[in-house]
Each structure stands twice: as C-alpha cells, then as structure tokens.
Amino acid sequence: MPKFVVTPWEVSGEVDYDKLVKQFGTRPIGQRLINRIKKHAGTVHPMLRRNIFYSHRGLDRVLSEHEKGNPFVLYTGRGPSGDTHLGHLMPWIFTKHLQDVFGSKLIFQLTDDEKFMFSEKLTLKNVEKHAYENTLDFIALGFDPKKTEIFTDTEYIKSLYKIAIKVAKRTTFSTTKAVFGFNNSTNIGLIFFTCIQSAPAFIESERQGRPVPCLIPCAIDQDPHFRITRDAAPHLGYPKPALMHCKFFPSLGGSDKMSASDPRSSIYTTDTPKVARKKIMNAFTGGRETIKEQRKRGGNPQVCSVYQYLAYIFEPDDKALLDQCERCKHGELLCGEHKQYLAEKVEQFLVSHQEKREKAKDVIEEFMVRD
C-alpha cells in the first residue's frame, strides 16, 4: 500500500484522493451537488464534471443560504513562497467561475507571514516580491475589481488580528499537533498562523455584524486549516465556512503535485512559450519504450502528465479529450504528437496570460486592501 502525506506544508507519496476524503472527514461532491450548482451556472465546469474539484464540507448549506437570498463570500489564497505555476492557477480559475456564476464578493489572502516563518531562507522582502508577482497572475485571470479584495497578511493584519485571536483563544496546542503534526521544535509563529488563515472566513460577518456565509475553494492540502476554522466558528458566533477541495495539479515529472522546487516539473506563468514547450517535450507520459510497442499495446493516459494537463485545464472539450484518450489507448496517438498538441495549447495560454499579467500591473491597486 503506497504511503502518502498531505498537510499544508508537505505533500508526498502517491496521493489516494478517496482515502484522503475518509482521512480528513470531508465529503465527496456527488452528482446531486453538481446538479444543484448546475441550476445556477447553467453548465457544469470541467473541473467539476471531471472530478478535479471532488470533495467538500458544508456545500449544501451554503447553497441553501444563497437560494434563500443570503449570498456567500468566496475566500481563497496563496502562500507567496515563489513564482506562480500552472498548478496554482487551477483553483483560482474555478474560483473565477464561481464568482461569475454567483456574483460573489471574493477575498484573496496572501500569507506572506506564513511563508516567511516557514522558510529558513526567505526574508520578508522575498515574500513581498513573490506576493506581488503572484497577485499579477491572480488578477490576470479576470476577477472583477469591484467584487475582489486582495491583501497580504502583514499589510492587512489589523483587520485580521482581532478575529485571529478569537480563534486562537479556542484552539489549543494539542489541536494543532493533531491537525498539522506540529511538535516541540515547531516555531511559535507557525503554531499561531492557522488563526490568521481562519480570519478571512469571518471577516465579512465581522464587518456586517451578522452571519455571512463563506465558501472556500482550495486544494485539499489546505483542509486542515479550515477544520480548525470550522471548529472555532460556533464558539465565536460566526457561521462555519463551506469548502470545495480540488486535487493537485499534476507534475510534468509524473508525481502527484507540481513541485515548485523542481523547475523542470512545473510550468511557470512567466516561462517563455519556448521554455514551456521544452518542458512539455521532456514530460513524463504513459507511453511505451518504443514506438513499435506503443502502436501495438497503446499508451496509459491515467499516469500520463500530458493527458492530465489537458484534462485539468487545457482541453475543456470532453469529446476531444475522450477521443485523445481512446486514440492513445489504441496506439493511434503517439506521445510526441500529443505533446505537440498540449504545447500549442500551453503556448497560446501563456502568450495571452502574460499579456493580461502585464496589464494587471496597471490595475493592481484597485484590488489591494491595506490597513
């Protein structure tokens, strides 16, 4: 049985997503919930129908509130520890979809404090720079500046802190040991930090002085933080935030999560199309050792990073994706050709994204909130 570890600071091993749902105590997003969202969206987003956003907490309730005329705020974020890669964009793309469908206000937290305290080598200046660069990528996805607030923790701490200390008062070290695996040598900033990540889930309730529902789309590794948030909520008189969890964006190297530490395994939003193409042409696939063998036995799309890239983001057309899958399995679509196909899509995306990213520099201040 392959072992795997998923915490906000470590993802390793071959992740069994179904097991993770059981381990974390979340719920799978089933057809009934997908249909419920479809009623609002008119359509089903590829990340939902392909089971990429696959798990949730309290989604039913937040939808019911919305239907009763009590709209939810969306809250997601980013730990600014480095450049943005395509994996980071994935939950944001889905969040953009939710903002479009539900017309929601969106809060985007950049946890510069966390990344500074977690990393031995990162300075506050480093994380500030990363936060700026990450924000450009976020804005480039097309969020509505009238409905979107972005902040770094250190610049918005006055608004967060009073909420954070309410969560802290109700959270013991025991709990963080159990939830995050902390021990005696963990620094006390990281121990406290989860309260800062909790705060944005309650900030709209605090501002409006009434329980405002909140929905948090995020990768499944962030769930432990929000377990603490949800446990604290009733003690504080806030509603428990709902969650929608996604799987990790695949690595070009064939492991489960795109790794920021191995630049060859990830495509960064600032990679030139040429560099991106080269990374794709070197990607791990489900192909055979020889062309002859592949023609005969077919490839394996399930383990193929090229296929996964297309399924997660770059081939929204189900029919086209299925066709590629079938042709691969029957030895008709070879890896070289499939890589070319993906590279073209990624190149197009990067050219367009980098243009929008440049434009984001002019409007970033419309999004930022500071104390």
Q: CA 33: distance to chain centroid?
A: 20
Query: Among residues 72, 116, 151, 314, which is the contact residue for a copy of itself, using CB under 8 A?
Result: 116
C-alpha closest to that of 52 among 326, 313, 368, 286: 313
CB nearer to a copy of itself: pick between 110 and 139: 110
176 interacts with a copy of itself by CB under 8 A: yes
- Least CB distance to a copy of itself at residue 179 (A): 11
C-alpha closest to that of 49 among 57, 61, 38: 38
Describe the crossing of helices 223-236 and 153-169 by its angle, rounded to 10 degrees. Answer: 60
* CB neighbour burial string for 215-241, b if at least 16 within 10 angstroms, e if fewer: bbbbbbbbbbbbbbbbbbbeebebbbb
CB nearer to a copy of itself: pick between 127 and 306: 127
State the DSSP code for 148: E
- Least CB distance to a copy of itself at residue 207 (A): 15
- Least CB distance to a copy of itself at residue 366 (A): 22
- Least CB distance to a copy of itself at residue 175 (A): 8
β-partners of residue 28 are 55
CB nearer to a copy of itself: pick between 113 and 223: 113
- Which of 71-79, 102-110, 149-157, 287-295 is the region at the interface with a copy of itself (rule: CB under 8 A)? 149-157
Do residues 91 and 219 touch, judged by C-beta distance below 8 A? Answer: yes
174 interacts with a copy of itself by CB under 8 A: yes
User: H/E element holding 235?
Assistant: helix 223-236
154 interacts with a copy of itself by CB under 8 A: yes
CB nearer to a copy of itself: pick between 155 and 332: 155
Give the number of residues in contact with a copy of itself, rule: CB under 8 A: 37
98 interacts with a copy of itself by CB under 8 A: no
Q: CA 310: distance to chain centroid?
A: 17
182 interacts with a copy of itself by CB under 8 A: yes
290 interacts with a copy of itself by CB under 8 A: no
Sign of CA dihedral 209, 213, 217, 222: positive
Query: Among residues 16, 155, 206, 231, which is the contact residue for a copy of itself, using CB under 8 A?
Result: 155
Q: What Rg value do the Cα atoms of the chain yield, rounded?
A: 21
Neighbours of 52 (CB within 10 A): 22
- Least CB distance to a copy of itself at residue 131 (A): 13
- Which of 96-104, 129-137, 191-199, 256-264 is the region at the interface with a copy of itself (rule: CB under 8 A)? 191-199
Q: Which residues bind a copy of itself (CB under 8 A)?
A: 113, 116-117, 124, 154-155, 157-158, 161-162, 164-166, 168-177, 182-192, 194-195, 371
